[in-house]
Amino acid sequence: MAALIGILPGDGIGPEVTAQARRVLEAVGSAGGHAFELREGLIGGAAIDATGKAFPEATRQLALQADAVLLGAVGGPKWSDPAARERPEQGLLDLRAAMGVYANLRPVRPHPALADASPLKAERIAGVDILVIRELTGGIYFGRKQRDADSASDLCSYTRPEIERVLRVAGQMAVRRRGRVASVDKANVLETSRLWRSVASELFAREFPTVQLEHLLVDAAAMHLLSRPADFDVIVTENMFGDILTDEASMLTGSIGMLPSASLNAESRGLYEPIHGSAPDIAGQGIANPCGTILSVAMLLRHSLGLETEAARVEQAVSAVLDAGLRTRDIAAGGSQTIGTAQMGEAVLARLRA
């Protein structure tokens, strides 16, 4: 098949990890006879330095034309001035809004070989297989913001259609999985959450009557993710809660560097990225874990290009490398050999070719 894939390396370790993911895409395309056109663009701090804008027009056009976009990471101390007119994070928000990617999918499935890397006991994470679905284009991150010398406010707002469409994705995913959804809110305090809970009850009763729906307050969900993570199947929640809970859930796997994500719009054109940040403290050292980005490529192949066999092969290649004891520094516990970013990418490629 033919596909245009936009690659936005971004800042910090972004260029390092996306370089390895690009090699995987090229290998998949070559092996399967797929005509992947890989075109790079600027975003975040790198874009500010080059163009003065965190999300320049050329990148916007690439994102709108591409069948899928692979992102590295944005941000860093160089651009951290809160008074700056352009900040890297705004480029990410603008990218999501431009693509209309409202449903963020983050799978959390600890690999058995990495049990020693998790801060939780091995028996606590045994059998964990969670899909967190985060609403991505609404809520407090996109609401009206005000600030003066002595006060500030951020508006959190949601509409019924915004809530329904992300809940529908959760229901569809649950039907394909184990048939359970935990809808996370703060309905004891927030009006947006009370609307969310009401819409969830109505929609699941109407459209997914066979799915078991559970309502959880966000603070309870945060505790249960540590005390009973294997009980969860699909978790769906609003933007800010999802941002926080997915970072917490990442520690079940032993490292935030292992987790991929997919952000989808109504046409399944997606934005794919590891859930980690730009990690400026290790940027340029060649030690970052590229597995989250490589596994994001697997999600890209599956959700936007419909290449399930190729996606599974990429996931199996990463799994085989971990089973062989190869580790980057962040997941070194329990491994037999600690390697760098490029070496991990090469190891995955070798398994993929085999």
103 is a domain residue: yes
Q: Pick the last residue of a domain from 228, 253, 278.
A: 253
* Whether residue 142 is found in the same domain as residue 202: yes
- Rounded to two decimals, the pTM is 0.90
Q: Quote the tokens at residue 253.
A: 């796997």
The CA distance from 32 to 317, in Å, is 16
Residue 317 lies in a domain: yes
pLDDT digits (tens, 9 = 90+) for 321-353: 999 999 999 888 777 899 999 999 999 999 999
Classify residue 146: in a domain, yes or no: yes
Distance between CA 258 and CA 200 in Å, rounded? 31
Task: Verify that 246 and 314 share a domain, yes or no.
Answer: no
- Domain count for the chain: 2
Based on the fold, state whether residues 68 and 141 are members of the same structural domain. no
Which CATH number does the domain housing residue 277 bear? Answer: 3.40.718.10
Residue 179, token pair as written in the block? 């048939």
Tokens (6 digits) for 208 = 């997914």
The residues that are catalytic are 141, 186, 219, 243, 247
Residue 209 located in a structural domain = yes
- Asked whether residue 114 is assigned to any structural domain, the reply reads no
- Can you list the residues of the chain whose pLDDT is less than 50? none
Asked if residue 94 belongs to a domain, the reply is yes
Which of 222, 253, 284 is the last residue in one of the domains? Answer: 253
Q: DSSP string spanning 303-344?
A: HTS--HHHHHHHHHHHHHHHHTTEE-GGG-TT-SEE--HHHH
Examine the domain organization and report whether 131 and 231 are in the same domain. yes
Residues 125 and 228 in one domain: yes
The answer to the question of residue 54 being in a domain is: yes
Q: Do residues 192 and 139 make contact, with C-beta atoms less than 8 angstroms apart?
A: yes
- Number of Cβ within 10 Å of residue 202's Cβ equals 13
Instruction: Give the helix ranges, DSSP H, for 33-129.
Output: 45-51, 57-65, 88-99, 122-125
Residue 336's pLDDT is what?
A: 85
Both 144 and 31 in one domain: the answer is: no
Given 253, 286, 321, which residue is the final one in a domain?
A: 253
Q: CA 41 from chain center: how many Å?
A: 19
Q: What pLDDT does residue 59 have?
A: 98
Q: Residue 79's domain spans which residues? A: 1-109+254-354
- For residues 134 and 240, state if they share a domain: yes
Q: DSSP letters of 197-249?
A: HHHHHHHHHHH-TTSEEEEEEHHHHHHHHHHSGGG-SEEEE-HHHHHHHHHHH
The answer as to whether 29 is a domain residue is yes
Q: Are 136 and 156 in a shared domain? A: yes
The candidate with the shortest Cα–Cα distance to 39, out of 11, 16, 56, 63, is 63
Residues 258 and 226 in one domain: no
Q: Which of 229, 311, 223 is nearest to 262 (CA)?
A: 311
Query: Which tens digit of pLDDT belongs to each residue from 226-280?
Result: 999 999 999 999 999 999 998 898 888 877 889 999 999 988 899 999 999 999 9
Tokens representing residue 63 in the block:
């994102």
- Tell me the pLDDT of the chain averaged across its residues: 95
Same domain membership, residue 190 and residue 81? no
Same-domain check for residues 267 and 223 = no
Whole-angstrom distance, CA of residue 230 vs CA of residue 224: 10
